[in-house]
């Protein structure tokens, strides 16, 4: 028997998340599994859907960061419960290492991908959030996996994802990438030299089934953008402080939020430089505008940020050009 309509489970799970009721959340996933729900569908249609709703509530200012943390603890416990069941299935394929790039603290998406791949018979090893590139290289040497899966939610983790791709492909190991930072298509993944990209957990399963067993080392990225991204990375703390204090973002009385906006925008520039995908910038500007709008900030703030940013980045010509061309009107 298979359970296909997960709508009632989602409603109960969302209520449990809102109440931070781990017992009920675990009961929802365990009952759905016992009723024949497919583990990957259960994760994507219930746990992931509920997590996205949590993010939307934070973005609209309805939920605090503390509440978001508590909700994530519930989702993590539910994912672990599904993974425990899935680990009883026999291993029928090779070994995959699943990792978050360095600077990436969104660990739950990697947990979900780990669970999905394990359910398809892969012998998976899940590394934690923000895996240092050196530690990853050591794991690749020690475990000799058949593939590496890398999850990135934040644009700021794409440069280290590139380092992971270099380390793995230098040893012939194919790399599957995914997560919101890679965007809605495979352009960024291809630019960074990944072997494959997929949009979700079901896509990850399909992509690994057909991934080549051995790959060539990733082609070097173009010198100019790489050099400028490295310079921006070195100057990041200084730029972040200068831009945050010059931009009248504190007009809406939340310095932390203003700092996050500037931080994410600087990271979007890194991402656009390394992947040649200017959408990283325009998408981040939209995100900032919605965030400011939902907090009742004055409407001129995004444009003021553009002016401040352009002035601060005058010594970075490629970044400056991207700010001109990619900033949505």
Residues forming contacts to ligand B12 in the complex (CB under 6 A) are: 44, 48, 51-52, 54-56, 58-59, 68-69, 72, 103-109, 112-113, 149-151, 153-154, 176-180, 198, 200-201, 204, 260, 264, 284, 287
- According to the 3-state scheme, what is the secondary structure of 186-236? CHHHHHCCCCEECCCHHHHHHHHHCCCCCCCCCCCCCHHHHHHHHHHHHCH
Q: Which is nearer to ligand B12, 1 or 10 (CB)?
A: 10
**Closest distance of CB 287 from ligand B12, Å:** 4
CB 101 within 8 A of CB 128: no
Q: Which is nearer to ligand B12, 180 or 320 (CB)?
A: 180
**Closest distance of CB 247 from ligand B12, Å:** 17
**Closest distance of CB 22 from ligand B12, Å:** 15
**Closest distance of CB 116 from ligand B12, Å:** 8
Q: Which is nearer to ligand B12, 226 or 287 (CB)?
A: 287
Q: Which is nearer to ligand B12, 148 or 313 (CB)?
A: 148
From residue 74, alpha-carbon distances to 71, 79, 257 in Å are: 5, 9, 25
**Closest distance of CB 223 from ligand B12, Å:** 27
**Closest distance of CB 252 from ligand B12, Å:** 16
Residue with tokens 């290289």: 137
Q: Which is nearer to ligand B12, 46 or 201 (CB)?
A: 201
**Closest distance of CB 12 from ligand B12, Å:** 18
Q: Which is nearer to ligand B12, 60 or 311 (CB)?
A: 60
Q: Which is nearer to ligand B12, 147 or 312 (CB)?
A: 147
Q: Which is nearer to ligand B12, 142 or 290 (CB)?
A: 290
**Closest distance of CB 262 from ligand B12, Å:** 11
């Amino acid at each position: 028997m298979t359970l296909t309509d997960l709508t009632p489970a989602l409603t109960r799970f969302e209520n449990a998340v809102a109440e931070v009721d781990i017992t009920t959340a675990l009961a929802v996933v365990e009952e759905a599994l016992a009723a024949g729900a497919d583990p990957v569908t259960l994760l994507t249609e219930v746990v992931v859907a509920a997590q996205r709703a949590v993010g939307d509530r934070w973005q609209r200012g309805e939920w605090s960061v503390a509440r978001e943390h508590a909700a994530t603890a519930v989702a993590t416990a539910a994912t672990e419960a599904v993974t425990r069941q899935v680990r009883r299935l026999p291993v029928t394929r090779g070994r995959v290492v699943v990792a978050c790039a360095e600077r990436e603290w969104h660990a739950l998406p990697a947990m979900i991908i780990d669970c999905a791949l394990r359910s398809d018979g892969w012998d998976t090893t899940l590394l934690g959030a923000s895996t240092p590139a050196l530690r990853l290289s050591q794991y690749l040497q020690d475990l000799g996996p058949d593939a590496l899966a890398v999850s990135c939610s934040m644009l700021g983790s794409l440069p280290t994802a590139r380092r992971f791709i270099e380390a793995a492909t230098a040893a012939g190991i194919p790399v599957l990438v995914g997560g919101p930072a890679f965007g809605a298509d495979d352009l960024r993944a291809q630019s960074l030299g990944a072997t494959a990209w997929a949009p979700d957990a079901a896509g990850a399963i399909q992509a690994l089934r057909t991934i080549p067993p051995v790959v060539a080392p990733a082609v070097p990225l173009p010198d100019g953008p790489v050099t400028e991204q490295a310079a921006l990375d070195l100057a990041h703390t200084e730029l972040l402080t200068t831009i945050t204090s010059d931009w009248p973002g504190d007009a809406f009385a939340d310095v932390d939020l203003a700092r996050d906006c500037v931080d994410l925008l600087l990271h979007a520039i890194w991402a656009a430089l390394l992947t040649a995908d200017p959408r990283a910038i325009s998408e981040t500007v939209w995100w900032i505008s919605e965030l400011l709008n939902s907090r009742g900030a004055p409407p001129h703030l995004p444009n003021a940020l553009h002016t401040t940013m352009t002035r601060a980045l005058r010594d970075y010509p490629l970044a400056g050009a991207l700010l001109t061309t990619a900033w949505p009107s």
